[in-house]
Amino acid sequence: MKAIAVQRYGGPEVLELMDLPEPRLGPDVVLVRVRYAGVNPADWKIREGYVDDWFESHFPMVMGCDLSGVVERTGLGVTEFAPGDEVVGYVRADHMQRGTYGELVAAPVRTLAHRPRSLGAREAAGLPAAGLTAYQALRRHLGTGPGDVLLVHAAAGGVGSLAVQIGRALGARVIGTASERNHDFLRSLGAEPVTYGPGLADRVRSLVPEGVDAVLDLMGGETLAGSPTLLRPGGRLASVSGDVSGLGGRYVFVRPDPVDLADLVAMAGRGEVRVHVSAEFPLAEAARAHELVQTGHVRGKVILSVGMA
C-alpha cells in the first residue's frame, strides 16, 4: 500500500511516499480503506521528535491519527462494524508507527465511529483529534453547560472553531479570541470575537465585567498566564499547553474514547458542529500540508485526499 512515512525525525522534507506492507488485522481490529486523513499540529511535532520522550517510536513511521474511510475487512471478534461501513476514526496507539496517512489502516474498534450520511467524508476526516480535544476539554475538564460564559483562546483554529460550536451546543455563551481577519468567521460559528494582543483583558471585561465562567486556552504563553485574571470567582481553566496546575487549571490531553467519538460524530451529523476545511492536498503532497499547518495560522482544518473520493 501507499503511505506517507518518515524514517527519521526532521522537517517536512523527511516525509516520504512509500510502499509498505498491508497492516495486520487483529481479532478486535478493523481494516479501513482511507478516503481522507486529517492533518493536525501534533503531526509535525511528532515528525520532528518532540514527543519522543512520551511515546515509543518505530521507523518507518506512518504519520497521522485522523481518518474517514470505508471498512474493508474486520477481525474475527468484531461485531460493531461490517465491510462497506463508512467510518470516522481517531486512530492513536500508545506507540508511534502505524498512522492514518495511508491507503489502508488497521484501526481497533475503540478508535472508530460510524459516519452518518449527513456528514461528508471530507469534513469527517478533520473532526476526530481536534473535535475530541475540544469535546473532552469542555465536557470533562471544564464541565461546560447552559448559562456558562466560555472564553476560547485561538478560536478560529482547528480545535478552537470546534470548541466554539460544541460550547454553543452545550448551552454556553462563547467569546473567542482571534485576529481581526477571522472575526466574521467566529461570528458565523456563534461566537463573540475579541482581538488578540495588548488590552485583551479589558476587551473581555467590557463584554463580561464579572469575568467568564471558563477558559479554554489553546495558545499558551502570555495568553495562558493572563487567563486566571479573566475568570469570575470559582471559574475554571483548561489548557493544551502542559502542566497548568500552578495556575489552578487542568491539562487537556485527548484520549481515544468510543463513546465520546460517537457523541461528537452525532453532533456533527445533526449539524450542531461543522468542520471548516481550509485546504486539501493529495497524499503525495503531505509535506506542503505540514508546512501550512506549521505556520500556526490555519483557519479550521487541513486534510489529505487519499483515495476513493
Write the CATH number for 217: 3.40.50.720
Q: Do residues 121 and 7 share a domain?
A: yes
The alpha carbon of 254 is separated from its chain's Cα centroid by a whole number of angstroms, namely 8
Which residue range is the domain that position 46 belongs to? 2-127+275-305
Q: Are 25 and 122 part of one and the same domain? A: yes
Mind listing the pLDDT tens digit for each residue in 43-81? Answer: 999 999 998 889 898 999 999 999 999 999 999 999 999
- Read off the pLDDT of residues 87-113 as tens digits, 9 standing for 90 and up: 999 999 888 889 999 999 999 999 999
Co-location of 296 and 231 in the same domain = no
Higher pLDDT, 200 or 307: 200
Count of domains observed in the chain: 2
Residue 137 lies in a domain: yes
Contact 28, 79 (CB under 8 A): no
DSSP string, 201-266: HHHHHHH-TT-EEEEEESS-HHHHHHGGGGEEEEEEEEESSS--GGGT-EE------HHHHHHHHH
Are residues 121 and 147 both part of a single domain? no
CA atoms of 97 and 91, how far apart (whole Å): 11
CB 124 within 8 A of CB 87: no
What is the Cα–Cα distance from 194 to 105, expressed in whole angstroms? 41
Grid coordinates given for 146: 447552559
Please tell me the predicted confidence (pLDDT) of residue 221: 94
Q: Which helix (H) or strand (E) holds 303?
A: strand 301-305
Of 156, 164, 100, the C-alpha closest to 128 is 100
Q: What is the mean pLDDT of residues 253-267?
A: 97
pLDDT at 285: 98
- Please tell me whether residues 74 and 188 are part of one structural domain: no
Domain assignment present for 265 = no
The answer to whether the beta carbons of residues 84 and 71 sit under 8 Å apart is yes
Alpha-carbon distance of 309 to 306, in angstroms, equals 8
Q: Does any domain span residue 268?
A: no
- pLDDT value for 129: 98
What are the φ and ψ backbone dihedral angles of 84, each rounded to 5 degrees?
95, -15
pLDDT at 96: 85
pLDDT tens for 180-189 read: 999 999 999 9
Number of other residues whose CB lies within 10 A of the CB of residue 55: 14
d(CA 252, CA 134): 9
Q: Which of 144, 181, 180 is nearest to 163 (CA)?
A: 144
Nearest to 152 by CA among 53, 223, 206: 223
Instruction: Evaluate whether residue 46 is within a structural domain.
Output: yes
Instruction: Indicate whether 257 belongs to any domain.
Output: no
Q: Which helix (H) or strand (E) holds 267?
A: helix 258-269
> Is it the case that residue 308 has pLDDT exceeding 80?
no
Note whether 185 and 78 are same-domain residues.
Answer: no
State which H helix or E strand residue 35 sits in: strand 29-39
Q: What mean pLDDT is predicted for residues 158-168?
A: 98
| Residues whose CB falls within 8 Å of the CB of residue 134, separated by 6 or more in sequence, listed in order | 159, 160, 162, 163, 166, 216
Does the pLDDT at position 140 exceed 60? yes
What CATH number has the domain bearing residue 56? 3.90.180.10
Average pLDDT, the chain: 97
Supply the pTM of this predicted model: 0.97
Does the pLDDT at position 309 exceed 70?
no
Average pLDDT estimate for 242-251: 95
What whole-number distance in Å separates Cα of residue 35 and Cα of residue 13? 24
pLDDT of residue 216: 98
